[in-house]
Amino acid sequence: MIQSFAHLSPLPFETCWTSPANIAFVKYWGKKGHQLPANPSVSLTLKECVTTSKVTFLAGEKLSVELNLEGTRKDSFGIKIENYLRSLETMIPWVKNLKVKIDTSNTFPHGAGIASSASGLSAFALALTDYLYFMKPDSDPALFHRQASFLARLASGSACRSVYGGFVTWGMSHLEGSSDEYACPLEVHPELSHLLDSVVVVSDQEKKVSSREGHARLNEHFFAEARYAQAKNHFRKAIDALKAGDMEVVGSILEAEALSLHAMMMTSPDSFTLLKPNSLLLMDMVRTFREETKLPLYFTLDAGPNLHLIYPYSHRNKIETFINNELTPLSQRIITDSRGEGPQKC
């Protein structure tokens, strides 16, 4: 996708992008080839949980990256970006002569159960795409976000979905224009266009097993093929329900996907769990609340112990009263977010 940018030589350029986190409704868990998903996924892009990155590109003797997070140099993140850029060398060889400086900050705390890799790496991929377009101004503006999503995917799979606002799909599916290489925005029923996400932080400790490692453990997993078949089935049903505005079906898939993701971790050959006792307690409380009140409150989890509670804006008063009164004692903090419009150049 980025072959047309292969024969350039670095010029000085500075840009700044704000890009959001996203929460997957149907999960990407398991890879094939190079950063390609084993099944299609669909997520909701958030609004408040964003990363802002100012990126400076200069010509240099050799590839180097300096990264400052909230004003403090963070070499471990800098090395990740450097390795990522090195992985692009076969497509855009001139990256080996880049001197990159990144000043980045997040609106949400580290370990809050919101993946800073999706927002951070999509912000960087957007800055890099901006740089490619600056150096090759005749590039098609209509393909800007697709290029950015392609580049974000190579850094972190879930980051490719953060390039668009609202609901976003990624991976080959029955949907026209779908691809394993980049994400696509999805139109949904107006009733589901304004959902809220309250993140109940159970633990902000560093995870024992990273997502990258978690994906790898699917390679030898006895249930891998069955999981991919389930995810494909959930994907079709979720898309139909999102388009039809059927929150009950969307919610049941949301919860099934979270539980399946964590079941895969617990049943992998090298078994692990990221759930905490309070994660289970909270799931139970959400289900009991839903049964008793008939209000559309559903949970999901990413690869961590924290719950994302999803509900329509129209029911926020009663649901947020329940969350604040009943769930606060079981959590370290609660962050409330909602559907966002996608990244912005700052």
- The 3-state DSSP class for residue 102 equals strand
| CA–CA distance, 14 with 30 (Å, rounded to integer) | 35
- Pick the closer one to ligand DP6 by CB: 148 or 303: 303
Closer residue to ligand DP6, CB minimum distance, 306 or 331? 306
Cα(287)–Cα(296) distance, integer angstroms? 10
State the minimum distance, in angstroms, from the CB of residue 194 to ligand DP6. Answer: 21
Of residues 211 and 306, the one with the C-beta less far from ligand DP6: 211
- SS3 of 184, please? strand
The distance of closest approach from Cβ of residue 137 to ligand DP6 in the complex, given in angstroms and rounded to an integer, is 31
What is the C-alpha end-to-end distance of the chain, expressed in Å?
26
CB of 41 to ligand DP6, least distance (A): 5
- Could you tell me the smallest distance in angstroms from the CB atom of residue 246 to ligand DP6? 21
Check if the beta carbon of residue 125 is closer than 8 Å to that of residue 151.
Answer: yes
Q: Give whichever of 17 and 28 is closer to ligand DP6, judged by the CB atom.
A: 28
Q: Point out which residues bind ligand DP6 (CB under 6 A).
A: 24, 27-29, 41, 115, 117, 156-158, 211-212, 215, 261, 302-303
In whole angstroms, how close is the CB of 310 to ligand DP6 at the nearest point? 14
**Of 146 and 215, which has the nearer Cβ to ligand DP6?**
215
Q: SS3 sequence, 185-203?
A: EECCCHHHCCEEEEEEECC
Distance CA 163, CA 122 (A): 6
Nearer to ligand DP6, 24 or 186 (CB): 24
For the CB of residue 42, give the shortest distance to ligand DP6 in the complex, in Å.
9
Tokens 């966002």 sit at which residue? 340
Contacts 24+ apart (CB under 8 A), 64-68: 64/98, 64/99, 64/100, 65/100, 65/101, 65/102, 66/100, 66/101, 66/102, 67/101, 67/102, 67/104, 68/102, 68/103, 68/104
